[in-house]
Structure 1
Amino acid sequence: MFFLFSASLSAQKVEFIKLNQNIKDKFSRTKSLTLIDNRADKNIGTANYKGDDVQVKFSNENVKNYVESWFAEDNKTKGSNDITVLIEEIKISEFKNTGITKAKIKVSSFINRNGKYYFINRYNNALDYNSKTTPNIPREIAYSISQIFSTLINDSYSHIAMSTPILDEQLNNYEVIVGNNLKFVNTKELIGGVYKDFRTFSMQKPEPEYHIDKNKKGKVVGVKNREDLSISGEELFGYVEEGKFYRLTPVGFLEMMKDDKGFYIVSSRLELFPPQNASGAMIGGMAGGLVGALIGAAIDSGKSAKRQNDAGLSNIYIDQLTGSYIFD
């Protein structure tokens, strides 16, 4: 009986997370990449495929060695920057009564200078997979995790770090430390004007060259520069008027409000990430360009005014460190 039980365990199917994308720092600015795995539970979990529970795991379960070797292999020419990647959570949850599988992933990056960490960027979200539309969920999860790591690392080479220093012993509490120093979070009144990106909004530095454009009814229809030329949606984050912030989305400018949980807009995953672009946009959003392009295309083509009645609107909260949407 023990032999049969052992055999059944060894026969469990596995989908491996393969870190094989190119993470070469094209400008050779980075000297080292160190990984810290702070997950309380290193077991990622299982997802069902054709009736079998398939375990999702890294090809090399020594994740620290796996990631650091990956960086070293792709970066023979070294620079002077020391980057640290912090894994906080990678966990799969299955909801078999609905056919939905979620993968919660939280991975952050920092630059290490003189023994202090400075936050660069992070991925902090849950990806949804529907068994009716995703043939092989374990494979999709493994691929998405690999994409998230490569996108975050590649972006971290050139992404400007925040200025708040974090001591080594404070790293687990970085979110609170950095958040306490964000101007847009702590200011009594937001500064009016147009913001090109989340970084300028977080520092409350509107673009002096831009102004909102309204029609005869007083509705905001776009943004123009000093030459009165329209600005593409790809170059916009939102605007503040009369102390209220309106964020650009694929369905137009939506007011960003605040409660005791943080900042949010009333929308849905369906509105913010249309099905044909959803997973790629949520991953590519770390680098900023992909989501901006999707929004810009919608705004510039005049499709932004239409909202779907069946979109299932709710409060979608904003990651105060990155400006990304957070889905549970």
Structure 2
Amino acid sequence: MKKIIQITFVFLSMISFAQNEEMIKERGNLSNPKGNIYKSLEVIDQRDDKKIGEMPFGDDQKVKEIIFPGTVNDFLSKWYTDSNHKGGKKELVLVLKTLKAKTGETSGKETEADVEFSAQTFLKEGDRYSFLYKRDTVYSFKSKNISDAVVKNIPIVFAMFVKKTYMKKPGENSVSLDALADYESYVKNNSEVYLNNDFKDGIYLDHQSFLRQIPLQGKYVFERNSKNEVTRAVKDENGKKDKISAHEMFVYIENGKIYKHTFSGFMEVLKNEKGFYLLSNRGYVLPASGSGVFIGVAPGAVGMHTGAAVGLISVFERSIQQRKLKKGELTEIYIDPLTGEYDFSNE
């Protein structure tokens, strides 16, 4: 009798525990539309806190913990395999650094919530890893059923990130597993441009050549407009001209000063102990965007659409710890050492 009572107690405890959890499920797929080159997806979970968050669910607003079925590696690895039946030859590794969900203010019938997400992906061959992509961002939701919206869209956040990874070419340098513990520091400690304060004059077409301080070969002459702004560079060798437009340049360096091409033209790039940055704001460096981003959760599809859309949940993607800037206010906009993209963390 005692054994039966113990078993019953354990069973009831399991039911009670499960009732206090809300499980993340696969939504859509992780298929690679350009052909699968990865035979598997492995997740290295570097989160300091493995708990995603707790939110109120249902009509009774019962607080439940949002969880994966098993580990995050179990969940994504299986989802990837289910989506890609033809095995490739290489391995895809996702390093998860942050996944946090929390509710915010309620206005009328709608409540806000944030999902903080940070991850990196690498191509693995043997015991070497080549960087592919990185994302550090916060997705902000607003819905009447905010908890359901968050749980349904967490897998969509992963799907968008993985599908973006498919479009990326691996970096030229591969590293050991140890470097993945803090890959950003590794890049800074092993890149010419971060190690030195004397920069090589010339034109750099991409972030990688800038990191390695390898400008375009040959003697290019800058052409400027009436405002003395660089419009293009021309190289004339052996009677043949090679023209590089301003839009093709990642940066150019002249007299040891770095200038980056932005939506508003070239701006000087400064350097401090944190890295390289522009003293500007989002409106100057990027073209105006729409009012938000809408993530579709239709069965069997993962879509990302701008503008108004019927039946979709609105979600505004913003940088971690973003704050609103006054019109014309300037801040330090850093250049991400891994991707070369703008980091708006200080806004």
Shift of 1:77: 2.2
Per the alignment, residue 119 of structure 2 pairs with 107
- 1:119-198 alignment to 2 at 5 Å? 119-123=131-135, 125-127=136-138, 129=140, 139=149, 143=153, 146-156=156-166, 158-166=168-176, 168-198=177-207
1:259 aligns with 2:272: yes
Shift of 1:325: 2.2
Per the alignment, residue 293 of structure 1 pairs with none
In structure 2, relative to structure 1, the CA distance for the partners of 1:214 and 1:75 (3 Å cut) is same
Larger Rg: 2
1:43 aligns with 2:57: no
Instruction: Decide whether the 8 Å contact of 1:44 with 1:90 is kept in 2.
Output: yes
SS of equivalent to 1:120:
strand
SS of equivalent to 1:122:
strand
Shift of 1:27: 3.8
Structure 2: any 5+ residue segments left out of the alignment?
Answer: 1-14, 236-240, 295-324
Shift of 1:241: 1.6
Per-residue displacement from partner, 1:14-43 (whole Å, max 9, x unpaired)?
695744244326344222221122212222
Per the alignment, residue 75 of structure 1 pairs with 84
CA distance in 1, matches of 2:68, 2:168: 28
Per-residue displacement from partner, 1:37-65 (whole Å, max 9, x unpaired)?
2212222236799x979979466453212
Instruction: Decide whether the 8 Å contact of 1:110 with 1:119 is kept in 2.
Output: yes
Instruction: Decide whether the 8 Å contact of 2:24 with 2:155 is kept in 1.
Output: no
Shift of 1:314: 0.9
Per-residue displacement from partner, 1:210-243 (whole Å, max 9, x unpaired)?
65431244222x224544756372x332222221
AA matched with 1:89: T
- 1:57-76 alignment to 2 at 5 Å? 57=66, 60=69, 62-76=71-85
SS of equivalent to 1:159:
coil
1:231 aligns with 2:245: yes
Per the alignment, residue 7 of structure 2 pairs with none
Instruction: Decide whether the 8 Å contact of 1:25 with 1:157 is kept in 2.
Output: no
More strand by share: 2
More helix by share: 1
Per-residue displacement from partner, 1:65-105 (whole Å, max 9, x unpaired)?
22112221232222321221110111245664999855432
In structure 2, relative to structure 1, the CA distance for the partners of 1:279 and 1:145 (3 Å cut) is farther
Per-residue displacement from partner, 1:105-162 (whole Å, max 9, x unpaired)?
2111122233233333211x2336386xx88866379647624544445535751224
Match of 1:240 among 253, 275, 287: 253
AA matched with 1:267: S
SS of equivalent to 1:248:
strand
1:310 aligns with 2:327: yes
Q: RMSD in angstroms over aligned alpha carbons?
A: 4.1
CA distance in 1, matches of 2:209, 2:64: 42
Q: TM-score, normalised by structure 2?
A: 0.66
CA distance in 2, matches of 1:255, 1:246: 4
SS of equivalent to 1:84:
strand
Per the alignment, residue 287 of structure 1 pairs with none
Instruction: Decide whether the 8 Å contact of 1:246 with 1:253 is kept in 2.
Output: yes
Instruction: Decide whether the 8 Å contact of 1:164 with 1:181 is kept in 2.
Output: no
Instruction: Decide whether the 8 Å contact of 2:99 with 2:117 is kept in 1.
Output: yes
CA distance in 2, matches of 1:250, 1:148: 29
SS of equivalent to 1:312:
coil
Instruction: Decide whether the 8 Å contact of 1:127 with 1:279 is kept in 2.
Output: no
Q: TM-score, normalised by structure 1?
A: 0.69
1:206 aligns with 2:215: yes
SS of equivalent to 2:228:
coil
Moved more, 26-35 or 144-153: 144-153
Q: Across the two proteins, how many residue pairs are aligned to each other?
A: 290
In structure 2, relative to structure 1, the CA distance for the partners of 1:22 and 1:205 (3 Å cut) is same
In structure 2, relative to structure 1, the CA distance for the partners of 1:69 and 1:154 (3 Å cut) is farther
CA distance in 1, matches of 2:31, 2:113: 29
Per the alignment, residue 228 of structure 2 pairs with 218
CA distance in 2, matches of 1:223, 1:165: 36
Instruction: Decide whether the 8 Å contact of 1:19 with 1:70 is kept in 2.
Output: no
Per the alignment, residue 304 of structure 2 pairs with none
Moved more, 66-75 or 109-118: 109-118
